[in-house]
Amino acid sequence: MFDVLKRILVDDMQMRAEDITPAVKRTEVGIDSLAVTELATVLNSRLGIEIHDYELLELCTVGDIADLLHERSSAAGDREPTEPHPGNVAPMTLWSAHANAAPTHRP
Tell me the per-residue pLDDT of 31-56, one tens digit each, with 9 for 90 and over. 998 999 999 999 999 988 889 999 99
Secondary-structure class of domain 2-93 per CATH: mainly alpha
Helical axes 62-76 vs 2-11, angle rounded to 10°: 110
What is the spatial distance between Cα 12 and Cα 9, in angstroms, rounded to a whole number? 6
Domain boundaries, the chain: 2-93
pTM: 0.70
55 burial level (CB within 10 Å; 0-12, 13-18, 19+): middle
pLDDT digits (tens, 9 = 90+) for 54-69: 999 999 999 999 999 9
